[in-house]
Chain A
Amino acid sequence: MKKLLSMTALLALAISPVLAAEKVLHVYNWSDYIAEDTIEKFTAETGIEVTYDVYDSNEVLEAKMLAGSSGYDVVTPSADFMNRQIAAGVYVKLDKSKLPNLKNMDAGLMKQAAVFDPDNAHAVVYMWGTTGIGYNTKAIAERLGDSAPTDSWDLVFDPAIAAKLADCGISFLDAPTELLAAAMNYVGLDPRSTKKADLEKGAELLTAVRPHIRYFHSSQYISDLANGDICVSVGWSGDIFQARDRAGEADKGVEVSYVIPKEGATQWFDMLAIPVDSKNKDAAHAYINFMMDAQITANNTNYVWYANANRASMPMVEEEIKEDPGIFPPLDVQAKLWSAQVYNKRTDRVMTRLWTKIQTGK
């Protein structure tokens, strides 16, 4: 046995990887969420190399953060998820002396985000948006005529209407918190309620339309909507605008629109934060500061069609985007938006269980 151990030790030594000290910034961001040349410009300006990875769900990011040693230096959690991650001690407090571009930020929006992170101590707003409905205008008109309720959640939450759209395909985000909130709001309850009975009523509504839903997924709908593989998606505003763009480029007669339904919708914030185990905190601060540059933010918004919280960037944002009520909603629509709720573990479990039940019927 002793011989065996020494042999193994030798073997282990021979194959252990050479650990080189690396000076690369590891960024973990949502998929399709940055202008194509932003990273290139960052490297050109600071000399810092970037490894850029993407994800499409807060849950995946959170699992990596909670496991620790993710290797990432900058991540982009949504504010409600971030709130819990801060409680778990996942993020460092930002050194604001290294973030001079903070002066560019919109005080009102930063204050809204501070509900999840007092004093914006751990993160700054990257982009914000709403969870609404994207639809294929022609396919809807063919099936529902001119009376199609395209300005309302009726489109996907009224079983009679959803049934008529089932053949061309309806998709929901695989994000229980956002769908249940919208459903509760639709049946006249508080969308931010954490009461089990309220959540169950929301689930009841979703179960009623479930037979007409093709799938639950949080990124696939972008290309499917653009290609005409599905015709209605409950999705994130900017993603649907990207689908609209891609449909325009493909030029196959598909036309996509986004609407914030008149009943209201979830408003969410995606935040830039630095994990505590980041090995490059200085470079991470440099990156966050760079992302708050007025021109860079404007480029990103012009590319991804998500609203930013950067007041200084607004003159450089394209008119078409600035005036789109789906991106920068007018005041009366803004008043109807609700921010995402932070749930405790018990409510999480209730919600996930309801979500499985909605999807599988079990």
Chain B
Amino acid sequence: MTGAQAAPPLTKTLKFIGAHGRALVIGVPMWWLIVFFLIPFAVVAKISFSEAVIARPPYTSLIEWTGEGAMLLKLNFSNYAYLIEDSLYILAYWSSIKVAFFSTVATLIVAYPMAYYIARAPERRRNVLLMLIILPFWTSFLLRVYAWIGILKGNGIVNNILLSLGITSEPIVMLQTNFAVYVGIVYTYLPFMILPLFTNLVKLDNDLLEASSDLGARPMATFFKITLPLSIPGMIAGSMLVFIPVIGEFVIPALLGGPDTLMIGKVLWSEFFSNRDWPVASAVAIVMLVLLVIPIMLLRNAQAASAEGSS
């Protein structure tokens, strides 16, 4: 009896999902992007055109109502002009891009052999190895960066080992340098490079490698002529996952870097917190986004064009 009663609502639900499935599938990510990307972006863009005042919130409203019911829209472009007037911002963007570039290259160099080894490993061991890559994510990111303070500091692990072995007589200053920032970034972002590389390398057709060696190519030649070119999409995907967040990175340079580590994240922080100038801070953020989006779009177009050309 109960089963017969329960059936109609269930089939109804299934029918509903069947009829609206498409909307569901497209709707969720679309609304996700609207709510968590487009709306915040619009809010930041709005603030970037206002003026800073001592009030709560600390910026002016763009829209004013006149007595006659007319609406006045005031856009203030001086915040953007300010970013060009003072060379600090351009220098900070440039040095962020530099740091992001070099740490992406370093991450790629470290990640490639690891991903290659995992992809070539027997399937059972592969899962264990992948697990080991993902495992550190179970600890808070902040804690993992803090751990590096203990490793790199003056009387930290590395220096104590070097001193006790007599390799150095004075502790080496590693913390609060750019070196520590690179170490922290490469360590933190390594999995983001390994995983896309792995998914690419694991799909590599063994027949191609066999054919290459049948035709007399040595393993090295096979690697550089077959494996490496075929893994370029994995390298691009991994590099994007590293490069883009590193540009705006704040926590790692703040904890491991020295005072002269100039990155746009820190500039944004001091505009927002020390100057209480939310409009200029927002303009810095918008410019950063534009700087990031343009090269990514160009890269995408290039990729799409090459895909079309080859097919």
Decide yes or no: A362 and B88 within 8 Å by CB, A63-B272, A227-B155, A356-B267 being known contacts: yes
The 8 A CB mask of B149-167 against A (1 = contact, 0 = none) is 0000111000000000000
Let me know if A331 is at the binding interface, CB within 8 A. no
Decide yes or no: A229 and B154 within 8 Å by CB, A66-B57, A87-B54, A360-B259 being known contacts: yes
Smallest distance from the beta carbon of B97 to chain A beta carbons, Å? 15
Interface residues on A, range: 35 or more
Let me know if A214 is at the binding interface, CB within 8 A. yes
Binds B, one of A110-118, A152-160, A316-324, A347-355: A347-355
Contact call B259/A62, Cβ cutoff below 8 A: no
Contact call A59/B56, Cβ cutoff below 8 A: no
A residues 1-46 near B (Cβ < 8 Å) are 3-4, 7-8, 11
Contact call B91/A352, Cβ cutoff below 8 A: no
Let me know if B27 is at the binding interface, CB within 8 A. yes
Binds A, one of B68-76, B122-130, B201-209, B273-281: B273-281
Closest to A81 in B: B276
Let me know if B86 is at the binding interface, CB within 8 A. yes
A residues 54-87 near B (Cβ < 8 Å) are 57, 59-60, 62-63, 65-68, 84, 87
Closest to B149 in A: A220
Contact call A88/B88, Cβ cutoff below 8 A: no
Closest to B26 in A: A4
Contact call B275/A362, Cβ cutoff below 8 A: no
The 8 A CB mask of A178-213 against B (1 = contact, 0 = none) is 000000000000000000000000000000001001
Let me know if A89 is at the binding interface, CB within 8 A. yes
Once the chains are docked, how many angstroms separate the CA of A216 from the CA of B270?
13
Once the chains are docked, how many angstroms separate the CA of A62 from the CA of B23?
44
* Chain A residues within 8 Å of B20, by CB: 3, 7
Let me know if A359 is at the binding interface, CB within 8 A. yes
Closest to A168 in B: B154
Smallest distance from the beta carbon of B39 to chain A beta carbons, Å? 14
Contact call B86/A4, Cβ cutoff below 8 A: no
Let me know if B260 is at the binding interface, CB within 8 A. yes
Contact call A348/B56, Cβ cutoff below 8 A: no
Smallest distance from the beta carbon of B45 to chain A beta carbons, Å? 18
Contact call A349/B275, Cβ cutoff below 8 A: yes
Decide yes or no: A362 and B277 within 8 Å by CB, A88-B55, A89-B56, A215-B259 being known contacts: no
Cβ 8 A contact of B58, one of A8, A88, A359: A88
Cβ 8 A contact of B260, one of A3, A229, A351, A359: A359
Smallest distance from the beta carbon of B73 to chain A beta carbons, Å? 24
Let me know if B52 is at the binding interface, CB within 8 A. yes
Contact call B24/A66, Cβ cutoff below 8 A: no
Cβ 8 A contact of B259, one of A66, A228, A351, A359: A359
* Chain B residues within 8 Å of A59, by CB: 273-274, 276
B residues 219-271 near A (Cβ < 8 Å) are 258-262, 267, 270-271
Most chain A CB within 10 A, of B26, B52, B270, is at: B270
Contact call B260/A63, Cβ cutoff below 8 A: no
Once the chains are docked, how many angstroms separate the CA of A360 from the CA of B273?
18
Let me know if B210 is at the binding interface, CB within 8 A. no
Smallest distance from the beta carbon of B281 to chain A beta carbons, Å? 10
Once the chains are docked, how many angstroms separate the CA of A87 from the CA of B92?
33
Closest to B31 in A: A8
Contact call B176/A348, Cβ cutoff below 8 A: no
* Chain B residues within 8 Å of A213, by CB: 259
Contact call A352/B57, Cβ cutoff below 8 A: no
Let me know if B64 is at the binding interface, CB within 8 A. no
The 8 A CB mask of B134-174 against A (1 = contact, 0 = none) is 00000000000000000001110000000000000010010
Smallest distance from the beta carbon of B22 to chain A beta carbons, Å? 9
Most chain A CB within 10 A, of B26, B154, B272, is at: B154
* Chain A residues within 8 Å of B176, by CB: 214-215
Closest to A345 in B: B52
Contact call A89/B57, Cβ cutoff below 8 A: no
Closest to A59 in B: B273
Those 3 A-B pairs whose CB atoms lie nearest each other, nearest first: A59-B273, A359-B259, A352-B274
Further 6 A-B residue pairs, CB within 8 A, beyond A3-B20, A68-B57? A3-B23, A8-B27, A57-B273, A68-B56, A84-B54, A356-B267
* Residues of chain A having any CB pair with chain B under 8 Å: 3-4, 7-8, 11, 57, 59-60, 62-63, 65-68, 84, 87-90, 167, 169, 176, 210, 213-216, 227-229, 345, 348-349, 351-353, 355-356, 359-362
25 contacts between A and B (CB under 8 A): A3-B20, A4-B26, A7-B24, A7-B27, A60-B273, A63-B273, A84-B54, A88-B55, A88-B56, A167-B170, A210-B259, A214-B173, A227-B155, A229-B154, A345-B52, A345-B277, A348-B274, A348-B276, A349-B275, A352-B271, A352-B274, A356-B267, A359-B260, A360-B262, A361-B260
